[in-house]
Every structure is written in structure tokens, then in C-alpha cells.
Amino acid sequence: MGIIKKMTDVLRRTPRSLQLYYDKREFDLELKAIWFGFTTALGIWLLAASLGLLWLLARGAGTYSYGIYIYLQGILGVFLGGLLAGTRVQSRGWLHGLWVGMLLGMLGIILNLEILPQVVTWAGIGRQLLVWSLWGLFGGHVGYYLKENRGRKRASDV
């Protein structure tokens, strides 16, 4: 009976412990901003992929150009997701953009491993994670910079 009570107590405290982690802000991470940037970037990429697929079907363009288009749209989505995450935080926009890029890079790696596992190499995995993380970091930094400039401009107008 004592073991079951301890297990249920641990499970009951789990959501609150995540909330305590979020409220403490030890690492200055705002999870809502990261989630917003991640979902926005994923939405942009999926929309662009769907439009590109329609273009491919209508025009009969080559699949090589579609692959390049998807890759570039993925990078653009990561940048914009990091930018939006950077505009929603109080500090360290670059860190939030980095997390957006890392999460999307890992999602892309998982999808690549599921679709064509024999084509993926360790060098390709590392390159994708590095490139997408850096684009997310850059987007988060630019987003935070734009937010700070907008705040300074409003303060100088007053």
C-alpha cells in the first residue's frame, strides 16, 4: 500500500514540477515562445511543401528542383520560426531560436530516417542539425533585435 501511494504522489506532482521549472526561469527559457516558433515554422514548411507539390504536379517540373525547393523552404521556415520566437521573449532570443532550429532539425532527421534510411549518413545528419540550428539561432537573434529596436523607438517617441 505504501509503494502505490508513493507512486501516485510522484505522478500527481509531475505537472506541477514542470510548472515550477517553467516559473523559476533558471535557464531563461520560455517554452511557449519555443512552441510557437516550432509550430509556426512547421506550418510554413508544410504549406510550402503542399504548394510545391501542386506546382510539381501542374508543371511537371523535375523532382530534383522540388527537393531543393523543399530544403530551402525548410530553412526559411526555421529562420521565420526562430524570428517569431525571438520576438516573444524577454531575453536571449538567440537561445529560443536555437531550440526551434534544433527541434525542427531533429524532426527532419527522424523523417529522413523513416522515409529513406539507406540514403542518410552521419555526416548528413550532423550537417542538417548544424545548419538548421544556426538558422534558428540567427532568426531568434534577429527577432529579439527587432523587438528591442521597436521598444526603443516607442520609448524615444514618448
Domain borders along the chain are 31-151
d(CA 95, CA 97): 5
Which pLDDT tens digit goes with each residue over 51-74? 888 888 888 766 777 778 888 998
Q: d(Cα 50, Cα 47) in Å, to the nearest integer?
A: 5
Across the range 35-42, mean pLDDT stands at 94
- The per-residue pLDDT of the chain, averaged, comes to 83
Burial tier of 48 (Cβ tally within 10 Å: 0-12, 13-18, 19+) = middle
Using pLDDT thresholds of 50, 70 and 90, give the confidence band for residue 3.
confident
pLDDT of 28 > 90? The answer is: no
pTM for this entry: 0.77
Residue carrying the nine cell digits 539507406: 118
Burial of 123 (0-12, 13-18, 19+ CB in 10 A): exposed
Yes or no: say if 136 and 104 are a contact pair by the CB < 8 Å rule. Answer: yes
Closest to 52 measured CA to CA, from 67, 30, 33, 35: 67
Residue of 20, 62, 147, 51 lying closest to 96 (CA atoms):
147
